[in-house]
């Protein structure tokens, strides 16, 4: 089935119940507003797969980013930002990466002198910044000190706390209420407690943990009564915590699941006056799944049953409204239909656990998929590993909820009743307020501060200090763009009436040095701001307290093993960088310098020919000239040059010569702006020159800017042009994985790599297993393989296996 048809079918499943709404639940604005939000205002969410869990200073963190919107890969945003932040809030790097079909990848090298114990990662698209900052991707990575601990690690004392969460949001007197609780410490880690529920000082129930510090109990509060919990922590210390206040009237919402159906019960307070109507809706990923209504007498109950067979997996938000569509209660509940993931198969075709032995594995995906993009990490099994979270648990749980979730991957390990009950405790104990229902009920749409990055970052910008009313749209910006280790390339970009300029074809990585001038007599000295579409990183020094709390990492044998061999690998890398190969002298017949320059720069009709040739790379007098025309003055017999700069007049045998810059036609105005120290070679062709329009009666002058090893930074002067250093996408590097079947000088060194193989861009197709080859190092006896990925349809996969 074609992928678009599959996506359409999946979307129809999402909307299956939407079209079967209860006609008694009429809402003039809510339906249309939610529908518009589901089409235009859905948030994006991201997950990063790393090659391993912890690193030493100086090591490179390799990552793959997966970005989703609703149930599918995020195709809208084209730029992904990753901020690498030190423990003290100092911004180490603000990187941007291009996004292709919801995917991106890159790397970050931890500074070798980094002293912190952790490194914070914050990743987002521009679109994600319109929503709750707590849902932006965050990760705290352990940084292992190169020096072992000299004294026994002393962990700080845990400070336990107990929180209560009424189902639906509030406790109501006179009706059955379910009250969830969560006990944890200051780092969000579960804390074991024992306690009792007290009513007016009398014990009425026990507080029993069911999973990871969470539990729930059901009771009926009395009007005016005070309730407290008395409990003991792991050390036996006693504590008292007050329960939330009791409302004298209102509704209590309860949601249960069995037979693959959500059973919803809305209990009304006995103090309610007369019959009361409520509206109930369910949404997932911003899409309305169901809408229904019910009426009950005081003390009565409205019950509804929602089939889940055609509902996609994910968090369902169930909201109860009164007749005027004011929100009364809300509850999140998870739907797990196993339609969110696909199973990846791994087969070992060739085992190689010996020193530097070859290994070959085959990776297969299910036949019903159109294709999938995977990332794979293969590490030494003896180093530390954090398996508490993965692509599935993060994108379906962490990225949707505020607060810390302990060991989220546990909730996706199986479909047992017990695991489902434990997952429901997570739903009960985590807040949810994505929608402002009072605005939606009135038809008000969210206000978006940031537009979606639907185009890639390109060489673009905006004129500064120029009245837009004076722009004609005929102005242009002349640029000389200089990349690292290359000459300057001239470009001319039109400026629109808003003062903006852009070349959509120039998508660049790393940095560019740009020299520029506005081609306009009125605004020739104007300044420009470049890359205005790229957002700046926030001030993390002032925001450092907003990072997720982290528990001090323990130091164990896996950390010690990791430290030992990762540090040795770094030392070997430094040794390799410092090695200088023996000089090899090759004697050959030397070509004339001008012949070498002509072969290097000129091509086609510009190659050879009857011409004057000038090598400016090796001409020390060139640097003393104002521009190219002043350099040529008096050097070419018959070529008449008068005036200077953009007013220069040229004549040869009564006709002006045709001008070329890097074999592209140019004019006097542009050539006069070319910095002389960016020019490598000039050819002046005698008339006529057949490569010019009209026969070239005045001959031609071809100017070539420097490239390759001709680039010499002899001066920062660029003829008075304004300059700017601009940063594009972060440069990509290739992970080094040796092939011991081939000769390589590096193979002479000891191999103690802790990450043996990393590939972030594996493209898998059905019925065609992917074959991957990698080689063992000198020390590893077993491998840990972690594969994660996303299909074109938006299904996710996670596989972790040990080869031993």
**Which tens digit of pLDDT belongs to each residue from 289-319?**
999 999 988 889 999 999 998 899 999 999 9
Question: 680-709: string of b/e by CB count within 10 Å (b at 16+)?
Answer: bbbbbbbbbbebbeeebbbbbbbbbbbbee
Is the predicted pLDDT of residue 22 greater than 60, yes or no? no
* Mean pLDDT to the nearest integer, 429-449: 82
What pLDDT band is residue 26 in, cutting at 50, 70 and 90?
Answer: low
pLDDT at 5: 38
Is the predicted pLDDT of residue 720 greater than 50, yes or no? yes
pLDDT at 419: 96
What pLDDT band is residue 9 in, cutting at 50, 70 and 90?
Answer: very low
Of the two residues 486 and 107, the one the predictor is more confident about is 107
Measured in whole angstroms, the distance separating CA 240 from the mean position of its chain's CA atoms is: 43
Is the predicted pLDDT of residue 566 greater than 70, yes or no? yes
Distance CA 621, CA 591 (A): 23
Tally of helices (H runs) and strands (E runs) in the chain: 10, 46
pLDDT at 690: 81
Of the two residues 68 and 576, the one the predictor is more confident about is 68
Distance CA 249, CA 438 (A): 21
SS3 563: helix
SS3 226: coil
pLDDT at 4: 40
Is the predicted pLDDT of residue 6 greater than 50, yes or no? no
Quote the percentage of the chain above a pLDDT of 70.
Answer: 89
pLDDT at 587: 46
pLDDT at 434: 66
* Lowest mean pLDDT segment, chosen from 4-8, 92-96, 276-280, 324-328: 4-8
pLDDT at 149: 64
Does this model's pTM top 0.95? My answer is no
pLDDT at 570: 87
Distance CA 47, CA 54 (A): 17
Is the predicted pLDDT of residue 47 greater than 80, yes or no? yes
Contact predicate 476/748, CB 8 Å: no
Both tokens assigned to 780: 């590893």
* Lowest mean pLDDT segment, chosen from 337-346, 511-520, 737-746, 763-772: 511-520
pLDDT at 582: 42
Both tokens assigned to 643: 């005036």
Both tokens assigned to 802: 């040990």
Of the two residues 626 and 130, the one the predictor is more confident about is 130
Is the predicted pLDDT of residue 786 greater than 90, yes or no? yes
pLDDT at 624: 74
Is the predicted pLDDT of residue 706 greater than 70, yes or no? yes
Contact predicate 372/342, CB 8 Å: yes
């Amino acid at each position: 089935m074609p992928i678009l048809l599959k996506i359409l079918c999946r979307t129809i499943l999402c909307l299956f119940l939407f079209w079967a709404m209860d006609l008694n639940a009429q809402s003039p604005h809510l339906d249309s507003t939610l529908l518009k939000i589901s089409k235009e205002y859905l948030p994006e969410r991201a997950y990063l797969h790393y090659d391993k869990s912890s690193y030493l200073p100086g090591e490179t963190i390799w990552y793959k980013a997966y970005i989703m919107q609703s149930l599918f890969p995020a195709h809208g945003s084209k730029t992904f930002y990753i901020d690498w932040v030190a423990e003290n809030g100092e911004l180490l790097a603000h990187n941007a990466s291009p996004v292709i079909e919801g995917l991106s990848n890159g790397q970050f090298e931890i500074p070798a002198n980094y002293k912190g114990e952790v490194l914070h990662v914050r990743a987002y698209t521009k679109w994600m910044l319109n929503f709750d900052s707590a849902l932006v991707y965050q990760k705290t990575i352990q940084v292992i000190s190169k020096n072992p601990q000299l004294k026994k690690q002393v962990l700080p004392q845990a400070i336990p706390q107990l929180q209560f969460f009424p189902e639906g949001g509030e406790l109501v007197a006179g009706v059955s209420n379910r009250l969830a609780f969560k006990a944890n410490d200051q780092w969000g880690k579960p804390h074991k407690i024992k306690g009792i529920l007290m009513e007016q000082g009398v014990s009425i129930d026990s507080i029993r943990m069911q999973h990871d510090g969470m539990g729930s109990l059901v009771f009926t509060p009395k009007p005016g009564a005070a309730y407290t919990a008395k409990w003991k922590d792991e050390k036996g210390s006693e504590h008292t915590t007050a329960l939330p206040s009791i409302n004298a009237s209102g509704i209590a919402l309860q949601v249960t699941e069995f037979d693959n159906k959500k059973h919803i019960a809305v209990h009304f307070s006995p103090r309610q006056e007369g019959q009361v109507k409520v509206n109930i809706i369910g949404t997932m990923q911003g899409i309305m799944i169901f809408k229904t209504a019910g009426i009950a007498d005081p003390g009565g109950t409205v019950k509804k049953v929602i089939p889940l067979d055609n509902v996609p997996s994910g968090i369902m938000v169930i909201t109860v409204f009164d007749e005027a569509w004011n929100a009364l209660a809300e509850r999140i509940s998870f739907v797990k239909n196993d339609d969110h993931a696909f199973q990846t198969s791994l087969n070992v075709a060739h085992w190689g656990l010996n020193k530097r032995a070859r290994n070959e594995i085959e990776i297969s995906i299910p036949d019903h998929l159109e294709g999938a993009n995977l990332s794979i990490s293969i590490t030494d099994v003896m180093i530390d590993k954090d398996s508490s979270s993965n692509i599935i648990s993060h994108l379906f749980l962490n990225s949707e909820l505020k607060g810390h979730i302990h060991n989220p991957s546990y909730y996706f390990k199986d479909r047992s009743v017990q695991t489902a009950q434990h997952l429901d405790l997570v739903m009960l104990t985590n807040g949810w307020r994505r929608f402002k229902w009072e605005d939606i009920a009135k038809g008000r749409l969210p206000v978006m501060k940031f537009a979606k990055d639907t185009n890639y970052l390109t060489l673009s910008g905006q004129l500064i200090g120029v009245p837009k009313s004076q722009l004609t749209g005929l102005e242009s910006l002349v640029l000389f763009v200089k990349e690292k280790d290359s000459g300057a390339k001239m470009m001319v970009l039109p400026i629109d009436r808003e003062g903006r300029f852009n070349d959509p074809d120039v998508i660049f990585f790393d940095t560019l040095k740009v020299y520029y001038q506005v081609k306009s007599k009125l605004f020739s000295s104007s300044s420009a701001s470049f890359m205005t579409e790229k957002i700046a990183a926030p001030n993390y020094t002032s925001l450092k307290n907003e990072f997720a709390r982290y528990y001090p990492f323990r130091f164990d044998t896996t950390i010690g093993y990791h430290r030992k061999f990762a540090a040795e690998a770094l030392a070997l890398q430094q040794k390799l960088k410092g090695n200088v190969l023996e000089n090899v002298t090759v004697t050959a017949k030397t070509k004339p310098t001008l012949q070498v320059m002509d072969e290097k720069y000129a091509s086609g009709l510009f190659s050879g020919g009857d011409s004057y040739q000038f090598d400016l790379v090796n001409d020390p007098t060139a640097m003393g000239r104002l521009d190219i025309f002043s350099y040529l003055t008096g050097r070419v017999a018959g070529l008449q040059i008068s005036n200077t700069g953009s007013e220069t007049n040229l004549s040869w045998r009564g006709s002006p010569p045709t001008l070329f810059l890097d074999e592209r036609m140019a004019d006097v105005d542009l050539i006069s702006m070319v910095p002389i120290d960016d020019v490598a070679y000039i050819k002046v062709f005698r008339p006529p020159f057949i490569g010019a329009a009209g026969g070239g009666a005045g001959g031609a002058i071809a100017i070539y800017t420097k490239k390759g090893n001709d680039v010499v930074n002899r001066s920062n002067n660029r003829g008075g042009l304004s300059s700017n250093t601009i940063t594009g996408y972060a440069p990509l590097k290739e992970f080094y994985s040796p092939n011991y079947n081939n000769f390589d000088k590096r193979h002479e060194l000891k191999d103690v790599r802790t990450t043996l193989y990393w590939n972030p861009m594996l493209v898998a197709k059905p019925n065609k297993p992917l074959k991957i080859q990698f080689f063992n190092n000198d020390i590893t006896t077993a491998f840990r393989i972690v594969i994660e990925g996303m299909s074109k349809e938006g299904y996710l996969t996670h596989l972790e296996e040990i080869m031993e």
